């Protein structure tokens, strides 16, 4: 009964909060977190908890897989050094700073390091949602950092827990081996699972089966990697990147559309539900606090949050200058950014469910476990309820805006594809046996579209954009008229409901394509 009530409450919270976020242009994670905190006041939900296994085995693999699937590998390559440093050195420095802050307030070194490791990594789901307003280069760097840094944090976390409970001994060789196994093992396992998944999906024709394998791939990558004590997170990321490269060539359009629709819905729902569940656990952490008073615990939250945020700002304003001293290549100079963009990157260090799952997984025998959970929940709340709402203002202050590169690349791709399709049209017509009349009609349609893409004005600018927008609106109006006509025919009894649904499915697909892939519309991911 509790599970059913929790599912209904989370569903209602997601529906209300996403509607409010869209209406008032607010960050959904902050509202969802607050909704979870408020739900925790309901007596019937006070016994509900977020099991760490649910995050690490159910939510995390699928969310990370789809996030990496839609991440630009080209941008990752271009910013690889920055991403590697952010996800390794910065994570270790953040864990150390948080541990020092906690120890200064009286927490023993063991639990302090466990706490530091828990709050060190940024959260991929939070960064993915809140970083969409950033230019592509910065958004991709932040997303890639959050996809990879869990591996470093979880190794530090495992060491801290093991040493504290007396199961691990710290040594240079042992620590180096753990990091090597975590990263290399994760990469190898992720690539192996992705290879098997792609090989199987190449032979499938049923979109439903494709979707089953798409869901099974991240779970298998995570579980196998964790079984050999490698980084399950990195295995999931590698598998997602691999499959994303193979999918356009090897899978059918129907399979890609089906998987994209289902996975997009599932990950959006899981992402929103996860923030609500984190909010529930934040409220629960307050109730379960027993070793120290609430006022002292809040001081610890402020101190550790300041350490986490301060280290990230310090890193962003020191590491670039060190890199410039070492690397003086001309290509490096072209990638330099100023202080304002670095401020945005520093302010985007959101924490989330992974940190809380790590804290909740701490053994109950560990000293100050309740304080570790409370402070971790508090740091998450600070980053999502204080930093996240400030991000739009910081972005505007920094003057960051979309540079239009994605728009230009999109137009280049469609223009080139249309030109080459026109050039190949005679050969294609002969291959399928199309009549000259039909070939001429298709050529005319392609040439009209190409004219819109190229534009008639010398500067190929606003006039082209206006004409494409007019073309889009006209097509949408025609589709709406066709839709109304088909529904009227059903109402009159001329066609059956099943026939109507089949036709509307095709019309709806055309409409969605027009709305989501028009030039100048950057609402897509």
Q: Which of 161, 93, 88, 146 is nearest to 372 (CA)?
A: 161
H or E stretch covering 451 = helix 436-454
Same-domain check for residues 370 and 476: no
| CA gap 368, 426 in Å, rounded | 75
Q: How far apart are CA 463 and CA 454, in angstroms?
A: 10
Q: Let me know whether 413 and 395 are in one domain.
A: no
Rounded CA gap, 154 and 159, in Å?
Answer: 8
Give me the number of domains the chain comprises: 3
Q: DSSP per residue over 354-380, as a string?
A: HHHHHHHTS-TTSTTHHHHHHHHHHHH
Please tell me the distance from the alpha carbon of residue 344 to that of residue 398, in angstroms, as a whole number.
Answer: 7
**Residue 496 DSSP label:** -
Check if the beta carbon of residue 304 is closer than 8 Å to that of residue 375. Answer: yes
Residues in the chain with pLDDT < 50?
Answer: 456-460, 519-525
Mark whether 145 and 165 lie in a shared domain: yes
Residues 436, 515 within the same domain = no
CA angle 35, 38, 44 (to 5 degrees): 115
Name the 3-class secondary structure at 455: coil
- Output the pLDDT for position 188: 95
What is the pLDDT, as a whole number, of residue 398? 87
The gap between the terminal CA atoms of the chain, to the nearest Å, is: 37
Q: What is the pLDDT of residue 2?
A: 73
- Nearest of 333, 353, 174, 361 to residue 279 by alpha carbon: 353
Q: Are 379 and 355 in contact (CB under 8 A)?
A: yes
- Which pair of structure tokens corresponds to residue 144? 């890639």
Three-state DSSP class for residue 142: helix
Q: Say if residue 395 is in the same domain as residue 482.
A: no
Q: What six digits make up the tokens of 478?
A: 């025609």
DSSP string, 191-252: HHHHHHHHHHHTT---HHHHHHHHHHHHHHHHHHHHHTTS-HHHHHHHHHHHHHHHHHHHS-
Same domain, 503 and 394: no
Q: Which pLDDT tens digit goes with each residue over 20-41?
A: 988 887 778 889 999 999 998 8
- Which of these, 310, 308, 332, lies nearest to 321 by C-alpha position? 332
123: left (phi over 0), alpha (psi -120 to 50) or beta: beta
Same domain, residue pair 126 and 219:
yes
- Residue 399 DSSP class: T
Model-wide pTM > 0.75: yes
User: Do 142 and 134 form a contact (C-beta atoms < 8 A)?
Assistant: yes
> Do 327 and 473 reside in the same domain of the chain?
no
Domain, as residue range, for 248: 2-401
Same domain, 439 and 494: no
Answer yes or no: do 336 and 432 share one domain: no
Q: Where does residue 132 fall: left (phi above 0), alpha (psi -120 to 50 degrees), or beta otherwise? A: alpha
Tell me the C-alpha distance between 228 and 238, whole Å: 16
* Same-domain pairing of 353 and 420: no
Closest by alpha carbon to 30, among 394, 392, 312, 303?
392
Indicate the residue among 401, 425, 444 that finishes a domain. Answer: 401
Residue 143, token pair as written in the block: 């997303």
Residue in 244, 201, 231, 257 with CA at minimum distance from that of residue 60? 231
What the block records as the tokens of 448 is 């009209």
> What 3-state DSSP class applies to 50?
coil
Do 437 and 476 belong together in one domain? no
Task: Determine the distance from the C-alpha atom of residue 278 to the mean position of all C-alpha atoms in its chain, rounded to a whole number.
Answer: 17
Alpha carbons 212 and 204: distance in angstroms, whole number = 11
Tokens (6 digits) for 325: 């001293």
Average pLDDT of every residue of the chain? 85
For 207-264, what is each residue's pLDDT tens digit? 899 999 999 999 999 999 989 888 888 899 999 999 998 988 888 888 888 898 899 8
Q: Map tokens 């963009």 to a residue.
A: 341
- Residue 277, SS3 per DSSP: helix
């Amino acid at each position: 009964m509790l599970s059913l009530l929790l599912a209904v409450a989370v569903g209602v919270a997601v529906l209300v909060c996403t509607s409010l976020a869209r209406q008032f242009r607010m960050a959904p994670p902050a509202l969802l977190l607050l909704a979870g905190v408020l739900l925790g006041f309901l007596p019937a939900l006070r016994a509900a908890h977020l099991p760490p296994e649910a995050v690490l085995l159910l939510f995390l693999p699928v969310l990370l897989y789809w996030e990496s699937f839609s991440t630009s590998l080209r941008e990752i390559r271009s910013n690889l050094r920055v991403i590697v440093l952010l996800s390794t050195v910065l994570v270790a420095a953040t864990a150390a700073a948080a541990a020092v802050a906690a120890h200064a307030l009286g927490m023993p070194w063991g639990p302090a390091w466990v706490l530091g490791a828990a709050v060190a990594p940024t959260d991929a789901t939070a960064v993915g949602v809140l970083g969409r307003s950033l230019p592509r280069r910065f958004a991709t760097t932040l997303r890639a950092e959050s996809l990879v840094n869990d591996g470093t944090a979880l190794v530090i976390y495992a060491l801290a827990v093991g040493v504290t409970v007396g199961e691990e001994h710290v040594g240079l060789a042992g620590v180096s081996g753990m990091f090597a196994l975590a990263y290399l093992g994760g990469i190898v396992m992720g690539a192996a699972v992705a290879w098997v998944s792609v090989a199987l999906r190449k032979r499938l024709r049923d979109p439903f089966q494709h979707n089953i394998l798409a869901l099974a791939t991240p779970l298998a990558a995570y579980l196998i990697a964790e079984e050999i004590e490698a980084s399950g997170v990195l295995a999931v990321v590698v598998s997602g990147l691999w499959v994303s490269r193979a999918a356009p060539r090897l899978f059918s359009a129907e399979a890609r559309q089906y998987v994209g629709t289902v996975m997009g819905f599932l990950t959006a729902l899981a992402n929103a539900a996860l923030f609500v569940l984190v909010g529930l656990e934040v409220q629960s952490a307050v109730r379960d606090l027993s070793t120290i008073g609430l006022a002292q615990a809040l001081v610890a939250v402020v101190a550790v949050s300041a350490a986490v945020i301060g280290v990230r700002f310090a890193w962003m304003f020191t590491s670039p200058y060190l890199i410039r001293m070492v690397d003086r290549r001309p290509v490096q100079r072209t990638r330099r950014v100023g202080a304002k963009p670095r401020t945005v990157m520093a302010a985007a260090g959101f924490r989330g469910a992974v940190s809380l799952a790590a804290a909740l997984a701490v053994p109950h025998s560990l000293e100050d476990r309740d304080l570790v959970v409370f402070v971790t929940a508090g740091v998450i709340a600070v980053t999502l309820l204080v930093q996240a709402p400030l991000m739009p203002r910081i972005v505007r202050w920094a003057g960051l805006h979309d540079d239009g590169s994605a728009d230009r690349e999109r137009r280049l791709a469609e223009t080139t594809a249309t030109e080459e399709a026109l050039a190949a049209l005679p050969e294609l017509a002969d291959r399928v046996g199309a009549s000259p009349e039909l070939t001429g009609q298709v050529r005319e349609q392609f040439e009209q579209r190409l004219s819109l893409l190229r534009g008639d004005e010398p500067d190929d600018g606003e006039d082209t954009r206006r004409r494409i927008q007019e073309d889009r609106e006209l097509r949408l109006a025609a589709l709406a008229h066709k839709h109304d006509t088909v529904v009227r025919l059903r109402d009159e009894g001329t066609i059956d409901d099943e026939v109507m649904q089949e036709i509307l499915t095709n019309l709806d697909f055309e409409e969605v394509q027009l709305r989501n892939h028009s030039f100048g519309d950057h609402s897509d991911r």
